[in-house]
Amino acid sequence: MRFFTLLLPLFFATLCYGSLFGSIRSGLSRLNPFSSRRDSASEVIVSNGYRAPVMNKGYIRPPPPRPRPVISNVVVFGDSHSDTGNTRAISKNRSPPPHYFQGRYSNGPNWVDYVGKNLGIAIKNFAYGGGTVDSSLNQGIAGYGSKVKVPGIAQQVDLFLNTTYGNIQNTLFLLCGGSNDYFMNATVEANDIQNAMRDSAEALLKKGATSIALCTLPPLTATPMIKSTWIKRLIFRFAEPVYNYRVRQLVSELQIRHPDRYFITWDLGPILSNIIQNAKENGFTNTYQACVDEKNNSPPCKNPDEYVYWDSINPTTRTHKLIAESFQALLKNNFVYRPYYNQQYNGNNQRPGPPMEQQYGGPRFNGKMPPNRPPYVQYA
């Protein structure tokens, strides 16, 4: 009898506290987003609307791997880093200056040219040197002292949507800008730029776009323009990471809102920073000065291949070649890209990619860059 009297309190304590601890443990597991346990439900939503079945022991089965989108075309919206002659055409050959290479803001081909040559992928380029994210926020101009207005990314998207376009589902849209917004107005709100980029992306999605890439800012504090004064370095040291955070945030937001579409970030900051940090291995001897003074229109340096920067903002063609390699890696790691010249006509007798090899490289690329072209070319 004495034995049962001793066991009775222990029984009630186990019954009460065991139930209490079980409730606490169950509640905490529900609050923990990283918990891999379930109570009794047969499925749980883990990401992008995917309903993952629960296995026998209560562990969530991981979602199936997402198929990579098929890409045969790239459409570029941006500024001088990507421009292949649009601003030169709209400014009637006044910008960039004559010693710049065929309308590129460099001493040779830029990354767009190299990607077109190396991959044979059709590229339609709407980028304008001097362009901002949205001309209604900051009006971009063709160059120092120029009165020629150039379209921002929002306006470039409108230009694209007003053209005849074909296989938009197999097109990657690249939105690359923001630098000129800060150059023209260092106090511009990152939230305003983010909203403008969101509107541009949503406009493309509304028309059927399935794959969109957004660029972060290159390391502006490393450019000769910003390095020249300490106040600029101070401003951009704070502005740059804020903008880049907003870009990544926007990519995540768009992916949640459109789980059936594909969004990625092309992170330019680490790419250029790595080029500068490993300058010797990459064949550069000067990482902080410009080869040419675009303000005074002075003659370029004699050894541009040893410079990271061609002018106070834009890279040399050697740097562009390394940037192109990073974009090619981005395509290979995230997409199945199919060169347009290897594809068949579809049921509507429309070629998946427009025949632009004479302009952007491709199967008949002969090492010479294309002549200047009009700013608006029909996208088939």
- Determine the straight-line distance between the first and last CA of the chain, rounded to whole angstroms: 94
Please, what sign has the CA dihedral across residues 74, 78, 82, 87? positive
Give pLDDT, residue 64: 59
Average pLDDT of the residues of the chain: 78
Task: Say if residue 332 is in the same domain as residue 189.
Answer: yes
Q: Kindly give, in sequence order, each residue whose CB lies less than 8 Å from that of residue 3, ignoring residues fewer than 6 positions away.
A: none
CB 284 within 8 A of CB 228: no
Tokens of 221: 């504090």
State percent of the chain over pLDDT 70. 72
The yes-or-no verdict on residue 267 having pLDDT over 70 is yes
3-state secondary structure of 271: helix
Which of 61-65, 261-265, 370-374 is most confident?
261-265
Task: Say if residue 39 is in the same domain as residue 98.
Answer: no
Task: Say if residue 206 is in the same domain as residue 245.
Answer: yes
Task: Say if residue 58 is in the same domain as residue 131.
Answer: no
3-state secondary structure of 293: coil
Task: Say if residue 152 is in the same domain as residue 171.
Answer: yes
Mean pLDDT of the region 317-325: 97
- Spatial distance between the Cα atoms of 35 and 143, rounded to a whole number of angstroms: 55
Which of 130-144, 146-160, 185-199, 358-372 is predicted with the least confidence, judged by mean pLDDT?
358-372
- Spatial distance between the Cα atoms of 191 and 334, rounded to a whole number of angstroms: 28
- Spatial distance between the Cα atoms of 352 and 343, rounded to a whole number of angstroms: 7
**Residue 368 placed within a domain:** no
Which of 25-29, 306-310, 332-336 is predicted with the least confidence, judged by mean pLDDT?
25-29
How many separate domains does the chain show?
A: 2
Task: Say if residue 219 is in the same domain as residue 314.
Answer: yes
Task: Say if residue 51 is in the same domain as residue 129.
Answer: no
The yes-or-no verdict on residue 4 having pLDDT over 60 is no
**Residue 1 placed within a domain:** no
**Residue 379 placed within a domain:** no
Task: Say if residue 45 is in the same domain as residue 111.
Answer: no
Q: Which one has a higher pLDDT value, 268 or 298?
A: 268
Task: Say if residue 33 is in the same domain as residue 155.
Answer: no
**Residue 114 placed within a domain:** yes
**Residue 5 placed within a domain:** no
Task: Say if residue 156 is in the same domain as residue 33.
Answer: no
Give pLDDT, residue 25: 44
Task: Say if residue 54 is in the same domain as residue 132.
Answer: no
Give pLDDT, residue 294: 83
**Residue 380 placed within a domain:** no
Give pLDDT, residue 146: 85
Task: Say if residue 38 is in the same domain as residue 125.
Answer: no
pLDDT digits (tens, 9 = 90+) for 68-118: 899 989 999 999 999 999 999 999 999 999 899 999 999 999 999 999 999
Give pLDDT, residue 63: 54
Tallying the residues shown for the chain, one arrives at: 380
Give pLDDT, residue 23: 41
Long-range contacts of 256-264 (CB under 8 A, 24+ apart): 256/48, 258/205, 259/48, 259/49, 260/210, 261/205, 261/209, 261/210, 261/211, 261/212, 262/69, 262/210, 262/211, 262/212, 262/334, 263/211, 263/212, 263/213, 263/214, 264/212, 264/213, 264/214, 264/330, 264/334
Q: 22 burial class (0-12, 13-18, 19+ CB within 10 angstroms)?
A: exposed
CATH of the domain at 220: 3.40.50.1110
Q: Which one has a higher pLDDT value, 353 or 56?
A: 56
Predicted confidence band of residue 181 (pLDDT cuts 50, 70, 90): very high
- Residue 33's domain comprises 27-65
State percent of the chain over pLDDT 90. 55
Predicted confidence band of residue 340 (pLDDT cuts 50, 70, 90): low
pTM over 0.95: no
The yes-or-no verdict on residue 53 having pLDDT over 50 is no
Q: Which residue has the tokens 């106070």?
A: 312
**Domain boundary residue among 65, 92, 115?**
65
Mean pLDDT of the region 122-151: 93
